[in-house]
């Protein structure tokens, strides 16, 4: 196979793509961090509200077990979102290093990170679509039974 040669324009485009990829990854990390903080605040507020309702004698249906399962699932989903951001950030850094140093091995590693990013996002989208379809079918059956 012939060696791939990139001209100056191609390198400039790749450098710009690396910058945008790094920006998107950093923004993703920020959003994930804010989501995590929001989950902690929500868990704290639910505990405070539960104690307040207990003090004034109002019945509450939100059990502690359900609360921790709910927040555990949210925490797991937030943790899963970190992985594609790591792949994107690695792609950006390795691509920038490969362009600066003219290193084809680092370029291959950066493209591997980009491949992992796209595969991960594709799998998440497929799982999400299957989940939506599994929700739509029973809902359509219930609507059909009502009509």
pLDDT per residue rounded down to tens, the chain (147 residues): 467 788 999 999 999 999 999 999 999 999 999 998 988 888 788 777 766 666 555 555 656 677 778 788 888 888 889 999 999 999 999 999 999 998 889 999 999 999 999 999 999 999 999 999 999 988 888 887 777
Instruction: Answer whether residue 1 is part of any domain.
Output: no
pLDDT for res 130: 95
67: number of Cβ within 10 Å: 15
How many domains would you assign to the chain? 1
**Lookup result for tokens 């491949």:** 115
Instruction: Answer whether residue 71 is part of any domain.
Output: yes
Range of the domain at 83: 8-119
Instruction: Answer whether residue 42 is part of any domain.
Output: yes
pLDDT for res 108: 93
Instruction: Answer whether residue 93 is part of any domain.
Output: yes
91: number of Cβ within 10 Å: 25
pLDDT for res 6: 84
Greatest extent of the chain over all pairs of C-alpha atoms, in Å? 78
Instruction: Answer whether residue 82 is part of any domain.
Output: yes
Instruction: Answer whether residue 138 is part of any domain.
Output: no
Say what the pTM is. 0.78
pLDDT for res 1: 47
Instruction: Answer whether residue 139 is part of any domain.
Output: no
Of 9, 14, 2, whose CA–CA distance to 110 is shortest?
Answer: 14
């Amino acid at each position: 196979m012939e060696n791939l040669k990139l001209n100056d324009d191609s390198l400039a485009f790749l450098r710009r793509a690396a910058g945008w990829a790094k920006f998107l990854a950093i923004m993703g990390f920020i959003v994930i961090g804010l989501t995590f903080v929001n989950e902690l605040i929500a868990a704290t507020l639910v505990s405070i509200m539960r104690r307040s309702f207990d003090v004034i004698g109002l019945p509450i249906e939100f059990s502690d077990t359900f609360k921790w399962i709910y927040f555990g699932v949210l925490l797991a989903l937030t943790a899963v979102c970190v992985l594609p951001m790591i792949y994107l950030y690695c792609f950006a850094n390795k691509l920038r290093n490969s362009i600066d140093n003219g290193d084809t091995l680092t370029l291959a590693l950066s493209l591997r990170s980009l491949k992992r990013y796209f595969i991960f996002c594709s799998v998440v989208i497929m799982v999400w679509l299957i989940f939506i379809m599994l929700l739509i079918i029973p809902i359509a059956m219930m609507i059909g039974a009502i009509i």
